[in-house]
Chains A and B, each alone.
Chain A
Amino acid sequence: MTKLLKIMLVDDQKMANFINKKLIEVTQFADEIVDYTTPEAALSAVKEEKPDLIFLDLNMPEINGWNFLDVLKERNDPTQVVIVTSSTSNIDKEKAQNYTQVVDFLIKPLNKNTILSLKNKLKPAC
């Protein structure tokens, strides 16, 4: 049996989490999915939930995706992160390379293929 995979979704748009959750379910990428619409709540829950992977939106009020990554870094929390953003800006993509725990940079909308590619990419690690 392979190891069970737990994914945490962090996006201030509830509908975005709804869509991504459905895609993860149908592609059987994870065994458990938890979703958060406030980054603060997600950060507090990371220790307890212990997700294997976080799907992180960038453009959020109060704490944006970059702040979220900075907090994880400060805590020495090595949880792997996939950035899932509606921004097509190259500046954001370049900035993401400064964070070693970011394993992929995906542009919304996701579809079954992007999830399956990610699944293949992370297979050896997970």
Chain B
Amino acid sequence: MNLSSAKYRITYEAFSKFSYNLNTVETFEDLGKVTNKHLKYLFNFKMFRILLVAEQPVICYTFSKSLGVNISFFETILPYEEELLIHKTPGVLPLQPDNLPEYLSEKFQTLENGKLWMWYTTLANYKVCFSIVSDDSSPFSHNDIEILNLLVDNIVSRYVQIQLTEELKNKNIKLKEAISEIELKNKEIEEINNNQQNIILKRTEELRFKNQKLLELSKLNAHNLREPLSRIMGFLEIADLFNDVELRNEIFPKIKISTHQLDQVFREVVAQSENVAANYNITENKHD
């Protein structure tokens, strides 16, 4: 086995370990940490940087041996990345001072023969700029590009999965909030309904009771009033069976008694109606 194929095998073993660990990652931070831990086994670099852009930059991971990983959701796009986004042309350039983010520029002042490698691709609706800074102490070679592409693929697809899971979580939270809001409203509606039901039952019971009282009163009136009245009418029915003297002496006094009784019953009925009205709160013009 020659040296190159041995290195190849070791690299792929390292990559499969990385890949395995990446599957357990659930946050953007852990994605950075796990990548940072495995990166040095995959290829040589001073800095490795991957920037995902949608309308705006959505995330940027910058890895360096001296500072570890820097994760930023609002990263400033570097000048060479601006160029990449426009022209999409990969390249290798001698390292310029403005090729580094501010937080790294001091650390990288003493690079020997520093080089900037940069690539552009699109993955899962994101524009992806990825770049490597290398020097003579950590030389990057064309042979590493294949494993680099695999790495970028893996990072981006994991990022997309985490992003979707987060969205799903947020949607679930909103859904739960909506459900509890609906439950609350349902409870309120139910309470209002129950309350209405009770009021209706109470009012119905009151009305039934009042109706009962009114019916009793009306039955009493029907009979008590008509009894003396029907007698008076009865005397008038038989009046022509009597002569004047009999009428005057016998029938008229009876009619007189009956009319007095009728008057008496009238007074009693009025008094009783008022009494019932007062007792059962039945008043004129009152609608309840």
Interface residues of A (CB under 8 A from B): 13, 15-16, 18-20, 22-23, 26, 59, 85-89, 91, 107-112
B199 at interface, CB cutoff 8 A: no
* Alpha-carbon separation in the docked complex, A52 to B258 (Å): 31
CB distance from B234 to the nearest CB of A (A): 4
Q: Are B227 and A59 in contact (CB under 8 A)?
A: yes
- Residues of chain B within 8 A (CB-CB) of A20 are 234
B231 at interface, CB cutoff 8 A: yes
CB distance from A117 to the nearest CB of B (A): 14
Which residue of A20, A88, A107, A109 has the most chain B CB atoms within 10 A of its CB atom? A109
* Alpha-carbon separation in the docked complex, A59 to B236 (Å): 22
Q: Are B258 and A15 in contact (CB under 8 A)?
A: yes
Describe A's contact surface by its main secondary structure.
Answer: mixed
Contact of A19 among B226, B229, B237 (CB under 8 A): B237
Asked whether A109 and B230 contact (CB < 8 A) given A19-B235, A19-B237, A87-B223, the answer is yes
- Residues of chain B within 8 A (CB-CB) of A22 are 238, 241
* Alpha-carbon separation in the docked complex, A88 to B222 (Å): 7
- Residues of chain B within 8 A (CB-CB) of A87 are 219, 222-223, 226
**A-B pairs with lowest CB-CB distance, top 7:** A108-B230, A109-B234, A19-B234, A86-B226, A109-B233, A86-B230, A86-B227
B38 at interface, CB cutoff 8 A: no
B254 at interface, CB cutoff 8 A: yes
B218's closest neighbor in chain A, by CB?
A89
Q: Are B222 and A16 in contact (CB under 8 A)?
A: no
Q: Are B258 and A26 in contact (CB under 8 A)?
A: no
Q: Are B229 and A86 in contact (CB under 8 A)?
A: yes
A59's closest neighbor in chain B, by CB?
B223
B227's closest neighbor in chain A, by CB?
A86
Q: Are B238 and A13 in contact (CB under 8 A)?
A: no
